[in-house]
Amino acid sequence: MIETPASTTEGADAAALRERARLTFDLDVDICIVGAGLAGLTVALEATRMGASVAVLEGRHVGWNASGNQLGTVMPGYGLPLGDLIERVGFEDARELWSLSKAGADYVRATATEAAMPGISLSEGALEVSNVDAGDQLISRLQMLLEDFATEVEGWQIDRVRTELKTDRYFHGIYYPKAFQIDGRKYVHGLAALARRAGARIFEDTPVVSIDSSGIRKRIVTPSARLRASHIVLAGNVHLGAPLRRLSETLLPVWRYAGVTAPLGDRLAEVVGFKGSVSDTDGIDHFRVVDGGRLMWASPEITWAGRPRRFAGAIARRIRTIFPKLGRIEITDTFGGAIGQTVHGMPQIGQLRKGLWVTSGFGRQGLNTSAMAGQLIARSILWGDERWRLFTPFELVWAGGPAGRAAVLVVGLWNRGSSAAAGALARHRERVRIREGLREARLAEANRQAGTRPAVARRPPPGRPRPVRPPQPRPAQASQPPQSVEPPPPIPAGQDEGEGA
């Protein structure tokens, strides 16, 4: 998940930074939340609004990792494709899960706009494009989303996609008019401000040393204080630390880096007319226009941490590959963060044991699913809402450790290579169809101007003998019965043949 650049977000919440405080005294609360990211802060906000006392413990600072490093696209869905989700849980439960993801996206929009978060930079629309000519699959998916899952979508033909994006790399597209983009850093700090105002206490620079989840009152130990709570919510993603290493090992850490170009002026408007975010079906390209004349572009996912600046060259080359008309590209900002990806592709939401809750593993769809999870957990604790049980089929599965990370890297490289080969083949076939169409059009025009019609049968090429057709049998005439021939009458005596009677 990728953040908007520092140039657009620095100084966004200076007041919140001044309020940063470490827990230095013992404390008793109803709910203790470990992790001040999107999910943890949503639980804190909703639970305090319902009347609970809440403390949030963050080892570094609010939104320091995945939650503060994202491209900001908000739309329904999960990391698991919809067809696989239906196969896993059945049609009715899949519809209910999809409805929850839509509600999560609506929650983000309402929270960002109704709270009038400063600098949220909301823009509308998201476009998912295909790297190959997949019209039949597009129609099938559109029907499913529209008819079965009540999601507003539009199918874009190739011409429409290429009108908005001047490149031959993309074919068909699915447009989500209700999707939108926000500045993720502003949103996570806005959530923290709302939670504080509602009564939640957020302690930064306060890592958790140990947790004792037995008994009615759970115990949490930090370097400088102890805390007791009736419920503990683990919302720390891949950085829960040694006390919860078994849980962290069910998540595969995946890094994605991004860059923002220098202002491109009219060049950008000539090749990218779409104002929302664009992603491809293979998970390789993800970009959108920011600051009016800059292009924010995310690199493919990798399974190791690196210096963001190292990826500037690769991002610039990818942009030139997709949009060669842009010419030379300068990357002025680079950034990135780690997300937690589960083996099955679905988030981890639910109760591990009585009073111990987990909400993590949101993968690429972090904004809408973390909002949904925060509401579910808060309502489950305080209202007895049982809908979190829809996620019980997606149990905690060990991610494989270093071997799992290596396997994901190999699979990712293979998928990107396969996607590139499939895209190249699709573009070659398209060029062949275009050439054949032009050839037929020229032939038809030549025939029209000559005033002739295209020959029905071609004459044999010179030098080849003309085939000789065997003689066709003449049709048999209808047989008639033979007629009887009477002999001429005898000539009377005294007359010869020359005389008359």
Tens digit of each residue's pLDDT (9 = 90 or more) over 186-227:
999 999 999 999 999 999 999 999 999 998 999 999 999 999
* Residue 394, both tokens: 């997606």
- In the predicted structure, residue 16 carries a pLDDT above the cut 50: no
Tokens of 51: 């009347």
Q: Where are the beta strands (DSSP E) in 99-206?
A: 123-129, 154-156, 173-181, 201-203
- Specify the higher pLDDT residue, 100 or 237: 100
Tell me which of 15 and 266 has the higher pLDDT.
266
d(CA 185, CA 3): 7
Q: In Å, what is the CA distance from 79 to each residue of 118, 180, 259, 363?
A: 30, 18, 23, 6
Confidence category of residue 402, pLDDT binned at 50, 70, 90: low
- Cα distances from 397 to residues 85, 176, 258, in angstroms, run 17, 32, 29
Comparing 150-154, 348-352, 490-494, which segment has the lowest mean pLDDT? 490-494
pLDDT of residue 118: 82
pLDDT of residue 399: 61
| Token representation of residue 269 | 């408007």
Give the residues across from 272 on adjacent strands: 165
Supply the pTM of this predicted model. Answer: 0.79
Q: Please give the residue that has the higher pLDDT: either 26 or 258.
A: 26
Among 28, 115, 16, 105, smallest CA distance to 58 is for 16
The CATH number of 11-121+182-251+342-399 is: 3.50.50.60
Token pair 């720390």 is found at 236
Average pLDDT of the residues in 464-477: 53
Cβ-contact 419, 131 below 8 angstroms? yes
User: Could you tell me where the beta strands, DSSP code E, fall in 115-192?
Assistant: 123-129, 154-156, 173-181
- CATH level 3 topology of 123-180+254-338: D-Amino Acid Oxidase; Chain A, domain 2 (3.30.9)
Which class for 91: exposed (0-12), middle (13-18), buried (19 or more C-beta within 10 A)?
Answer: exposed
Q: How confident is the model at residue 256 (pLDDT cuts 50, 70, 90)?
A: confident
Q: Report the distance separating Cα 92 and Cα 70, nearest Å.
A: 31
Across the range 29-52, mean pLDDT stands at 96
Domain boundaries, the chain: 11-121+182-251+342-399, 123-180+254-338
Q: How high does pLDDT run on average in the chain?
A: 82
Give residue 13's pLDDT band: very low, low, confident or very high (50, 70, 90).
very low
What are the residues facing 344 on neighbouring strands? none
Burial bucket for residue 80 (CB in 10 Å: 0-12, 13-18, 19+): buried
Q: Quick check: 4 pLDDT over 70?
A: no
Question: How open is the CA angle 165-315-124, to the nearest 5 degrees?
Answer: 45
When pLDDT is cut at 50, 70 and 90, the band that residue 274 belongs to is very high
How confident is the model at residue 498, as a pLDDT?
42
pLDDT at 423: 64
Quote the DSSP letter at residue 197.
H
What share of the chain in percent tops pLDDT 70? 78
Instruction: Using DSSP bridges, classify how beta strands 154-156 and 173-181 pair: parallel, antiparallel or unpaired.
Output: antiparallel
Strand partners, 28: 228
Q: Return the DSSP state at 275.
A: -
Picking from 259, 355, 295, the residue whose alpha carbon sits closest to that of residue 5 is 259
Q: How far apart are CA 78 and CA 365, in angstroms?
A: 6
Residue 446 binned pLDDT confidence (cut-offs 50, 70, 90): confident
**Residues 420, 426, 430: CA angle, nearest 5 degrees:** 145
